[in-house]
Structure 1
Amino acid sequence: MSTEQHGTSPDRTATGSRAGAVTGAAGAAGAAGAAGAAGAAGADATVARAAAPGAAPAAVRGVGVSPGLAAGPVARLAAAAAEPAIARLAPGADVEAEAARVTAAAEQVAGDLTAAAATVDGERRALLETTAQMAADPALVRAAQQKVREHRLDPARAAWEAAGDVADQLRALGGYMAERARDVHDVRDRLVAVLTGAPMPGVPRRAEPFVLVAHDLAPADTALLDPAQVRAIVTAEGGPTSHTAILARALGIPAVVGAGDVAALGEGRLVLVDGGAGTVTLDPDDAAVHRAAERAARVRTFDGAGRTADGHRVALLANVGDRAGAEAAAAAGAEGVGLFRTEFCFLDHAEEPSVEEQVAAYRPVLAAFPGRKVVVRTLDAGADKPLPFVTATPEANPALGVRGLRTARHAPDVLDHQLEAIAQAATAEDAEVWVMAPMVATVSEAEDFVASCARHGLGTAGVMVEVPSAALLAGPMLARAHFASIGTNDLTQYTMAADRLLGSLADLSDSWQPAVLRLIEATCRGGAQQGRPVGVCGEAAADPALAVVLVGLGVSSLSMTPRALADVAAVLAGTDLGRCRQLARAAVDAESAQDARDAVRAGLPVLTEMGL
């Protein structure tokens, strides 16, 4: 349950998707990249009220990805420097000195990002450190210097063209790596800013808090967001599983993404952002601004026992990726861990870590939850997390290739060693350890995985439901496996045939899609047939409105970023199980994601009362 009081917001720790895998893959493609910024810059903020007295304020609509209400003047993301003109070095110029300027610029950008990383922690630090490594990638620096030496290009133009070549290489790889081409452009923009003396692109600094508006945000920008200064975020692109969405939820910043044309959100214009409904109201009246401020001042806490208004228990767990994340989750009152991502132990390794290294990494996470459930996901390599010792050669469609449990076909010993390490860590600690495999698609895969776990003494083995086949075969799969956990991010991606990292497909990459909800319903039905629990560990669990639907469909546990626990608990505590089921039916029977979202929100007045 959740309790609410008025006061200042507590410190928030960000968790989000790991960006470290990009370094290795980009390096393999001769690339370096970091998150990019776009948008228009303007003068200092001045509040504008353009709506006529008595007229209904206009609104911009997008996808609400981080609930909450916030009002403030718009501050646009600082614009990147313009494309440098094609300029050649003057006759007699010191070519080597000009080439050395590229190295110096890369070192400066990397140094600034490293210094920024020291001011944050957890996943945000990892993102910035990875971006710093990308900025100083020798492959990119050498490529730019070659253009200076061989073509006598001005260093800024050389850096621009070299980064463009790297971005083209990443786009050719397809899938996740194609999306990282956007990151390379940010490194390019930072290098050009240093080489030309232009202002560095990124999040602006203001004397007063503001609503940040951008075409898109990338990891380096989102990692440095300060909730005390950034009241809300609105982006033209992006989807529910973008870096912006994930980190906004982790920081508790209301956010709307995929808003399309945000030209109306001019610098300094007063707006009211509803991160739950996905709306941005232009020129709100004073009463609306006051209500938003009042609700933002309320602090909810979670007492560690999730339940509906009529007492139906729903375990509220946390998604964690390392020791720091586990400790933050325990401090937030999480009942346990519904998703322990073990990739942190493998990323940035050229060779498989030893069993001893893995045990040492897993034990602190288990130690944070003595006597409580910790669901450990085995290595989810492949696609966005390529690892040389488990993944095959580059694939045309990596999201549809060798990833998750499928890597055991190529490297069975890696899975065997990991299960051995998990078993040793479980024996050494007091947590109740469950183990699950990602990307299970067939009944035989489920059966083989359960048998492998049993050989290592791991008696509670489950499957992740991320592909439609697993949802449709949930009954027979759960006749073998002991539980299922639905990864809504990938289940949505594969159901809608839409890359979840492409902002242009944000409307499809939405777990409110009725087709996705029907597959969740089918999974819960299969679990009920076998008497097995079904949980959700995807980003959908952090949406308080969608959490109600999931419970109504039969989900017994929800795992999310720790920051979302109190809000989800509060909404469930204000809704009885019968109402959850009614709203779930309405969502499943809807014809579009927006219709489903609107129907559920209309039936949950508690969301408005809580400012969600």
Structure 2
Amino acid sequence: MAVLRGVGIGQGVATGPVLHMAEAAPAPEDVPSTVGADAERTRVQEAIAAVTAELNRRAEAAGGAARDVLEAQAMIAEDPTLADEVEERISAGSTAEWAVHDAFAGFRASLEAVGGYLGERAADLDDIAQRVIARLRGVAAPGVPDPDHPFVLVARDLAPADTALLDLDKVLALVTTDGGPTSHTAILAREKGIVAVVGAAEAAGVPDGGTVIVDAASGTVTTEPAPEEIARAAARAADRRAADTAPPTPGALADGTPIALLANLGKPGDAVDAVARGAEGVGLFRTEFLFLSASQAPTVTAQRDAYRELLSAFPGRKVVVRVLDAGADKPLPFLNDAHEENPALGLRGLRALRASEDILREQLTALAEADAETEADLWVMAPMVATVEETAYFTALAREYGLRTAGIMVEVPSSALLADRLLAHADFASIGTNDLTQYTMAADRLLGSVASFQDPWHPAVLRLVAEVGRAGAALGKPVGVCGEAAADPLLAVVLVGLGVGSLSMAPAALSDVRRTLSLHTLDQARRIAEAALAADDAASARAAAQAAG
């Protein structure tokens, strides 16, 4: 028996035989076409169209964050620059297979050189190229195996198209050798409630058919487990299933301290699942879905109808709506599509909205109208607030439109360090741990080469969370977390110990977080948080919290 270590996603445990992800097919050779340029041109057009249709079909079926990722891949597949590169090679006498392979490889290198969001998207090109080439060859694209029995999937990492439509009746658990807690694979696994351990490098050596226990709670993969280990894992899995089917209760610590458990939602239709899973409200509603696929800003009427649908699903409950967070990885042609050398540090969030204030005013108008027609407790917040002046500007503007509760997202160190001064103006603060980690660690959250720095367990990030928690307590202002960190059950306990009063996450994570919070008192949460703060790095902070718990 061996114990392999990685980072667990959630608290699940599963046992089963291993199957490895199929490797990519060998690259095509650069040989002259035997059928002529016109025939090759037709072949590649049909193949790209088929792959694009398949990606869009998977996006529609997947929904949620997976849908966004897959739709982005479909757009890349049809990129006109790529099409021109493929055409150039076919005109020079290449086969369609080689033209796609070489054009995509060249485009990939260009994106990697740019870095940032585009650099991260370079990895998606490999998956798209493989799918197009497989279609040209008339073979199945490399991807998830499809045996006639349940299995534990081991892969280097998963392409978004594969993660989005995993057959959860067969895939008992997911183990990746690459990636971290905020990778696409981890985020999608958390959203779907898949038992997962990521970054377990040694898992590559586990043979197909070998039985393993995947324990997300401890971040371990146990190979060749003893019968008694398998029995204990099965009992734990059964207990979790029973807990998941029990009627959900409000979030609370063992001593009765209430901790509101809220949902992160991307569109109004997601509300049904959130309510069914026991969400006490919405801690982050992303309004970008109305804007990202549009060539111009949606009308006030269109926005009002969408917000009304959302608010109607939560009568009497808190619903926190984030105004448009465009920029960086979400440029919009009518707002901020100008090239920036480092868009993550550029005109994004509230900065972009102030530069086009009419869009912000229309959004606040629509929110106010929807609020007047429904019974939810609407809170609005601005993204990427960095200064006291920005806070005062947004809260004053929100109140001008009659919106009662206006707050800010804490995503940059300046707003965390000055939280007491910002909260003198704002009604509440919501900490976006994904961006706060990015800016604290100077590590682009979308850049794979620095993924190891993108860990919200880092004591530097936790110290900033503690600053906001103290400021909120001193001023009597609510402080919540709506980043991926809130979905990590043990980290959720730490956040509560740092002064956070509400946690917002993907609905699938609510059950695990609710259960873990119920096992700790507030004093215990504070002690666990202190242990994590005393560590030197993210890994030791996680280990210290586990030991203190």
2:18 paired residue number:
74
Check if 1:513 corresponds to 2:422: no
Partners of 2:526 and 2:340 lie apart in 1 by: 42
1:62 paired residue number:
6
1:103 paired residue number:
45
> What SS does the aligned partner of 1:296 have?
helix
> What SS does the aligned partner of 1:527 have?
helix
Instruction: Name the one with the larger helix percent.
Output: 2
Contact 2:154/2:204 (CA < 8 Å) preserved in 1? no
2:408 paired residue number:
463
Check if 1:332 corresponds to 2:273: no
- Counterpart among 219, 232, 247 of residue 291 in structure 1: 232
Partners of 1:408 and 1:130 lie apart in 2 by: 23
2:169 paired residue number:
228
Check if 1:417 corresponds to 2:334: no
Residue 102 of structure 1 and its aligned partner are, at CA, apart by 0.4
Structure 1 unaligned runs (5+)?
Answer: 1-56, 605-612
Partners of 2:303 and 2:324 lie apart in 1 by: 11
Partners of 2:96 and 2:479 lie apart in 1 by: 56
1:154 paired residue number:
95
2:123 paired residue number:
182
> What SS does the aligned partner of 1:506 have?
helix
Check if 1:88 corresponds to 2:29: no
Residue 137 of structure 1 and its aligned partner are, at CA, apart by 4.2
Deviation per CA, 1:142-168: give whole Å up to 9, x if none: 43123101x111110001112123323
Give the partner amino acid of 2:158: L
TM-score normalized with structure 2 length: 0.95
Contact 1:102/1:145 (CA < 8 Å) preserved in 2? no
Displaced runs of 4 or more, over 6 A: none
Contact 1:63/1:507 (CA < 8 Å) preserved in 2? no
Deviation per CA, 1:422-473: give whole Å up to 9, x if none: 1111111111000011111111111111111011111211111111111100
Deviation per CA, 1:328-381: give whole Å up to 9, x if none: 111111110000111001011111111111111111111110111000001111
Q: Higher relative contact order by CA 8 Å / sep ≥ 6: 1 or 2? A: 1
Partners of 1:435 and 1:119 lie apart in 2 by: 30
Contact 1:239/1:505 (CA < 8 Å) preserved in 2? no
TM-score normalized with structure 1 length: 0.86
> What SS does the aligned partner of 1:439 have?
coil
**Correspondence list, 1:51-450, <5 A:** 57-90=1-34, 93-117=35-59, 119-149=61-91, 151-297=92-238, 298-299=240-241, 300-301=243-244, 303-450=248-395
- Counterpart among 474, 496, 504 of residue 419 in structure 2: 474
User: Given the superposition, is the C-alpha separation of residues 501 and 211 from structure 1 closer, same or farther in structure 2, using an over 3 Å criterion?
Assistant: farther
Residue 602 of structure 1 and its aligned partner are, at CA, apart by 2.5
Partners of 2:67 and 2:412 lie apart in 1 by: 32
Partners of 1:504 and 1:291 lie apart in 2 by: 38
Contact 1:227/1:252 (CA < 8 Å) preserved in 2? no
Deviation per CA, 1:192-227: give whole Å up to 9, x if none: 111123431111112221111111112111101122
- Counterpart among 577, 583, 587 of residue 522 in structure 2: 577
Residue 264 of structure 1 and its aligned partner are, at CA, apart by 1.6
Contact 2:527/2:548 (CA < 8 Å) preserved in 1? no
> What SS does the aligned partner of 1:284 have?
coil
Deviation per CA, 1:276-300: give whole Å up to 9, x if none: 3222222211222222222223322
1:15 paired residue number:
none
Partners of 1:81 and 1:516 lie apart in 2 by: 41
Deviation per CA, 1:110-133: give whole Å up to 9, x if none: 233344445444444454444344
User: Given the superposition, is the C-alpha separation of residues 337 and 268 from structure 1 closer, same or farther in structure 2, using an over 3 Å criterion?
Assistant: same
Give the partner amino acid of 1:306: G
Contact 1:64/1:256 (CA < 8 Å) preserved in 2? yes
How many positions carry a matched residue from both structures?
Answer: 545
1:48 paired residue number:
none
Give the partner amino acid of 1:270: T
Residue 401 of structure 1 and its aligned partner are, at CA, apart by 1.1
Partners of 2:94 and 2:233 lie apart in 1 by: 53
> What SS does the aligned partner of 2:209 have?
coil
Give the partner amino acid of 1:61: R
Deviation per CA, 1:223-277: give whole Å up to 9, x if none: 0112221111111222222221111111111212223354322322222212232
Partners of 2:143 and 2:308 lie apart in 1 by: 38
Give the partner amino acid of 1:511: P
Partners of 1:500 and 1:292 lie apart in 2 by: 34
Partners of 1:418 and 1:490 lie apart in 2 by: 23
1:45 paired residue number:
none
CA RMSD between the two structures:
1.7
